[in-house]
Amino acid sequence: MDGWKILGAPGISDGGAHSVSLFATAAGNIYSAFRETGNSNRTAVMRYFEDEWIYVGTRDFSSANVSDIAMYVYDETPYVAYKDPSFAYSVTCARNKTGNWEIPGYQISNGEASFIDIHFDENVQMPYIVFQDGATGKKAAVVRYSGAY
């Protein structure tokens, strides 16, 4: 039958899910990132695997009450950018390359960030983040990580 089908069990989050993001890799793997109310309002990332959703790494890598979550998955490594209330609502970026979450960048924006998105340049293997920056009168800003990543 044609139509939409739920992947895995309905209701994959532990409590309410806010600021959701979804990414499908070229290999057909599906990842979802969201703020999870059953997890002290921290970011959770899950991967759809063998008809069920499993957590990617720990569920407590972000501050509480994050928002504007955006995700990109490169080479099966999820990169998550979000508005972080612990750093004046600036952008924070995290990745899970080896099963553990790493935070290579806190307070990426100069002011409060909104409308965050993240993409990856596969040629230079670096993430780019775009956001509305409150420090510039809510103008758009684009950043790229400089240095070894």
Q: Looking at residues 92-118, what average pLDDT do you find?
A: 91
Taking Cα atoms as reference points, which of 86, 73, 77, 89 lies closest to residue 131?
Answer: 89
pLDDT of res. 118: 97
pTM for this model (two decimals): 0.92
Q: Looking at residues 72-101, what average pLDDT do you find?
A: 94
- 């990169």: which residue's tokens? 79
The confidence band for 148, taking pLDDT boundaries of 50, 70 and 90, is low
Q: How far is CA 120 from the centre of its chain?
A: 13
Q: Is 136 helix (H, G, I), strand (E, B) or coil?
A: helix
Taking Cα atoms as reference points, which of 71, 116, 70 lies closest to residue 89?
Answer: 116
Fold of 17-144: Tachylectin-2; Chain A (2.115.10)
- Domain locations in the chain as residue ranges: 17-144
C-alpha distances out from residue 129 to 47, 49, 121, 133, 134, Å: 22, 28, 11, 12, 15
% of the chain residues with pLDDT over 70: 97
Whether residue 42 contacts residue 63, with contact meaning beta carbons closer than 8 Å, is answered with: yes
Whether residue 34 contacts residue 17, with contact meaning beta carbons closer than 8 Å, is answered with: yes
pLDDT of res. 105: 72
Higher pLDDT, 147 or 141: 141
Q: What confidence tens digit (pLDDT) does each residue in 33-86 have?
A: 999 998 899 999 999 999 999 999 998 889 999 999 999 999 999 999 999 999
Residue 149 has pLDDT above 70, yes or no: no
Minimum mean pLDDT among 93-97, 106-110, 139-143: which range? 106-110
